[in-house]
Amino acid sequence: MALTPRIAIDAMGGDVGVRMMLAGAAMARHKHDGLRFILVGDEVHIKAALENHPNLRAASDIIHTDGVVTGEDKPSQAIRKAKSTSMGLAIDAVKRGDAGGAVSAGNTGALMAMAKLALRTMPGIDRPALAALLPTLGDNDVVMLDLGANTECDATNLTQFAVMGAAYARTAMGLQRPRVALLNIGTEELKGTDEIRDAAAMLRAAKGLPMEFTGFIEGDKLSRGDVDVIVHDGFSGNIALKTIEGTARFVTDLLRRAFTSSTRSKIGFLISRPATELLRHHLDPNNHNGAVFLGLNGVVLKSHGSADAKGVANCVHLCAELIEKDITRQVTDDLANFQSGNAA
Percentage of the chain beyond pLDDT 90 is 57
**Contact residues for 162 (Cβ-Cβ < 8 A; gap 6+):** 180, 182, 199, 203, 211, 213, 229, 231
H helices of 97-225, in order, are: 108-119, 155-173, 194-205
Give yes or no for residue 57 having a pLDDT over 80: yes
Position 209, amino acid: L
Higher pLDDT, 112 or 271: 112
Give yes or no for residue 69 having a pLDDT over 80: yes
Tell me the pTM: 0.88
Q: What is the pLDDT of residue 342?
A: 63
Q: What is the pLDDT of residue 306?
A: 85
State the pLDDT confidence band at 273, using cuts at 50, 70 and 90.
low
Percentage of the chain beyond pLDDT 70 is 91
Q: What is the pLDDT of residue 268?
A: 65
Q: What is the pLDDT of residue 46?
A: 95
Q: What CATH code is assigned to 1-125+295-325? A: 3.40.718.10
Cis peptide before 146 (omega within 30 of 0): yes
Give yes or no for residue 145 having a pLDDT over 90: yes
Could you state, in order of their start, the residue ranges of all structural domains in the chain? 1-125+295-325, 126-289
Lowest mean pLDDT, pick from 5-14, 241-250, 283-292: 283-292
Instruction: Give 62's strand partners.
Output: 39
Superfamily for 126-289?
Isopropylmalate Dehydrogenase (3.40.718.10)
Q: What is the pLDDT of residue 280?
A: 58
Give yes or no for residue 187 having a pLDDT over 60: yes
Residue 134, helix vs strand vs coil = strand
Q: What is the pLDDT of residue 124?
A: 84
1-125+295-325 and 126-289 in the same fold: yes
State the pLDDT confidence band at 281, using cuts at 50, 70 and 90.
low
For residue 308, give the nearest of 325, 292, 289, 283 by alpha carbon.
Answer: 289
d(CA 24, CA 5): 16
Sign of CA dihedral 325, 242, 125, 163: positive
Q: What is the pLDDT of residue 344?
A: 52
In the chain, at which residue ranges do the beta strands (DSSP E only) sit? 6-10, 36-41, 60-64, 101-104, 129-134, 142-145, 179-183, 212-217, 229-231, 291-294, 299-302
**Contact residues for 129 (Cβ-Cβ < 8 A; gap 6+):** 145, 146, 147, 149, 150, 160, 161, 164, 165, 234, 293, 294, 295
Q: What is the pLDDT of residue 1?
A: 42
Higher pLDDT, 34 or 22: 22
Give yes or no for residue 269 having a pLDDT over 70: no
Position 13, amino acid: G
Give yes or no for residue 171 having a pLDDT over 90: no
Rg (CA), the chain: 21
d(CA 87, CA 92): 9
Mean pLDDT across 238-252: 82
